[in-house]
A and B are shown apart, each in its own frame.
Chain A
């Protein structure tokens, strides 16, 4: 059957199981939008800025495990996607971005709204296409989805000239892809797996570092089996949070710059490290030359280029985490590491990194803690970037995969609100809390209108410290407390919410926290709470940038009077 380019794209989207598209129209994509009218099964969500479309698609993909799709027009529409695409790239999120382009005869002529978006996104996509022939379009759509979701996932951009949308051709959707240069290795090499098993079985102080790769491959059960059989403590990266239940006795939290002191100490003391689906990012390793000085590292990752990139590895295993762990588990002997475990427990007692100090004022940590308690750990938490992000990572107890959605690799302020939209659209029956910084929130605040138009029950908690908090913290600690360009004035967020049609509250005192969260949860639709918190509260523990993981700054002594050791424990009652 003959179809236009626009129809071919829509047919392809349907065949790939797409249900939702986040987008924003314009001249070059008008033919595609016109065709969308005939595909009611493709729900289109109109964002207020294309960056929001890319973040929402990215977060939708993380929350659901499906490919997220976004659309933008040529020129400024396409460039507005760039931050979101880079964000998805650095966090290995499967996104297909479709952009309009000027018609073929105008390409290269600096035509109105022409921009070389495939050139611009070349280093921030897994692969991209400029479609020059409608005959290749079906194959390209097929390949794009295949590439986005397989191997190490990532964003794929398809740039479609306006006249290609309109041109007709015979429609044949390929059933298979033919990509001679792309064959991800899934099964780990048996000899390497044997070597790894031997190291693990002989280890005295083994440690697992879990990354997002475990979540992507769905290897939770396999990871749990490995940890429990050989009694190996598990720590995670920021994006690995949720790959292993944090309330599990073997869980020792997150490592890295704002990781738990005891998790970082475990890295320094371990003799064997099993790093799975993570990439030794500098925020996780600290000074890389002093990372895990006593450990033989086993690195399991689907991307061969990640192995040996940042740290030397003794046993490299290229493969899918689930398949590799499955094979590895067959060779693991049931053991105990009582001394090691007791040492870690001791460190956890001596360095209660998640204790919340006693304070008259409203502490941001307490807000997160209470959201955890009220939601009983059942919510999806979507964060901004900065202090709010770190507190959200530290003070909520994540037991489920994908219960934390956060911008890790790129650290994109403004991710929070559109990402909360993506998560809520993907998981309408789950409570979604957006933990926002007062700075980051103002970067994509316009998406409040999207929430209202699409009737999305997103709950928003602004951690309002009247500063660009994380930068202020660095200025306090490393720049003599000179607060240049970090004090931040904000509009009345409650009134802003009201203007958009979202009910809201302001909370200044700790007694009001729980009732406010409960009110938000009771509301059927969206709700916003402006938590006015202690302005100069810092995130601890902190590994000074460039220092080894063991050089941890902990909360200053006067602050350390802990009211409770709130080391992450399951909720018993609210």
Chain B
């Protein structure tokens, strides 16, 4: 069944990790919708959120291939989990003195912020899930969108657990590795 999957990867903060992952996506023909990288709560570990849509078997294959990269510590498919997912967008909208207040009204309804104003434009900052950002974009489109940038999804499971126990990488089951 084809659907959007959210994968979370914890990776060692080493040069080349991103190249290794990007190379794998290309080489094995996986089409990624978004990938976001940043620090995690653990020093030396970065946290990535990867969004990919495709059949479950393909996404499972991607998860396993990612897991094989030595610098990738863990990969989770959190699609089935109850998660908080957010994305941030900056949208520069064409504005004139006559329609500026209409834009501000829309921005208020979406609990977004205006972060920059110029004689012929306003820049809107919005945070939320993809649908919220898509709907705001739709409403603003009529004013003329001059520029836009979206971060892509970051996600986290709800509740007190650190990371979902289900779908955990097989690496976690491994034995000790005294050489």
Contacts and interface: CB of A to CB of B under 8 A. Distances in A.
A411 interface: no
A118 interface: yes
A185 B173 contact: yes
A309 B61 contact: yes
Contacts of B11: 181
A123 B23 contact: yes
Contacts, number: 69
A186 interface: yes
B14 to A, nearest CB: 10
Contacts of A195: none
Contacts of B67: 304-305
Interface residues of B, number: 31
Interface residues of A, number: 29
B171 A183 contact: yes
Given A123-B27, A181-B12, A183-B175, A305 B69 contact: no
Interface in B60-92: 60-61, 64-65, 67-74
B179 A142 contact: yes
A366 B176 CA distance: 51
A180 B12 contact: yes
Interface string B35-69: 00000000000000000000001001100110111
Interface in A505-548: none
Given A175-B179, A185-B173, A186-B175, A308 B57 contact: yes
A569 B174 CA distance: 42
A308 B177 contact: no
Contacts of A179: 70, 177
B174 A185 contact: yes
Nearest to B57: A308
Contacts of A185: 170-171, 173-175
A123 B26 CA distance: 10
Contacts of A177: 177, 179
A126 interface: yes
Contacts of A146: 177, 179
A184 interface: yes
A182 interface: yes
B7 to A, nearest CB: 14
Contacts of B71: 181
A303 B68 contact: yes
Nearest to B171: A183
A181 B170 contact: no
B34 to A, nearest CB: 23
Contacts of A315: none
A308 B61 contact: yes
B174 A184 contact: yes
A318 interface: yes
B119 interface: no
Contact of B19 (A122, A150, A176, A309): A122
A177 B177 CA distance: 7
25 contacts: A123-B23, A126-B70, A130-B15, A146-B179, A147-B70, A176-B177, A176-B179, A180-B12, A180-B73, A181-B171, A182-B171, A183-B172, A183-B175, A184-B174, A185-B170, A185-B173, A185-B175, A186-B174, A187-B175, A303-B68, A305-B61, A305-B64, A305-B68, A309-B61, A318-B170
Given A130-B16, A183-B174, 16 more contacts: A118-B16, A122-B20, A123-B24, A126-B70, A150-B177, A177-B177, A181-B12, A181-B72, A181-B171, A183-B171, A183-B177, A185-B170, A187-B175, A305-B67, A308-B57, A318-B170
